[in-house]
């Protein structure tokens, strides 16, 4: 994608754009795309353009990026467990709270 964008330098005066495999993430293979541009003030715009082009190429190729799934556990329900989950005769292992 960096080769297709006009801003990255490709005239041989600087290293060519390079994609590097950086690390194994928790649920991803992480890559880094490195390229040189002549005007550093264009960095954010060029990076955005290249990232959008990569996203469009993935979409065109039918590649979907998975998003991590998170489980949420709710331990309380309006001040305690729902009535059907409360034990009918709670077991007490020691003296009542506040009394020793």
The whole-chain average pLDDT of the chain stands at: 82
Please state, in angstroms and as integers, the Cα–Cα distance from residue 10 to each residue in 7, 17, 77, 95, following that order. 9, 8, 61, 78
Tell me if 91 is assigned to some domain: no
Total domain count, the chain = 1
* pLDDT value for 37: 92
Q: Is residue 25 part of a domain?
A: yes
Average pLDDT over residues 79-84: 61
pLDDT of residue 94: 60
- Structural domain for 1, as ranges: 1-84
Q: Judge whether 74 lies within some domain.
A: yes
Give per-residue pLDDT as tens, 8-43: 888 888 889 999 999 998 888 899 999 999 999 999
Please say if the pLDDT value at position 4 is more than 80: yes
pLDDT exceeds cutoff 80 at 95:
no
Would 67 be classed as within a structural domain?
Answer: yes
Query: What token pair was written down for 37?
Result: 């541009």
3-state DSSP assignment of residue 88: coil
Q: For residue 96, tell me if it sits in a domain.
A: no
For residues 63 and 54, what is the distance between their CA atoms, to the nearest angstrom?
11
3-state secondary structure of 35: coil
Q: Check: CB of residue 38 under 8 Å from CB of residue 8.
A: no
């Amino acid at each position: 994608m960096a080769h297709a964008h006009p801003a990255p330098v490709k005239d041989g005066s600087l290293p060519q754009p390079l994609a590097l495999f950086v690390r194994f993430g928790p649920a991803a293979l992480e890559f880094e795309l490195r390229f040189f541009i002549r005007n550093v003030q264009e960095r954010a715009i060029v990076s955005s353009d290249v990232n959008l082009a990569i996203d469009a190429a993935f979409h065109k190729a039918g590649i979907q990026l998975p998003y991590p799934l998170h489980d949420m556990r709710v331990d309380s329900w309006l001040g305690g467990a729902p009535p059907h989950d409360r034990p009918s005769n709670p077991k007490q292992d020691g003296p009542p709270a506040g009394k020793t």
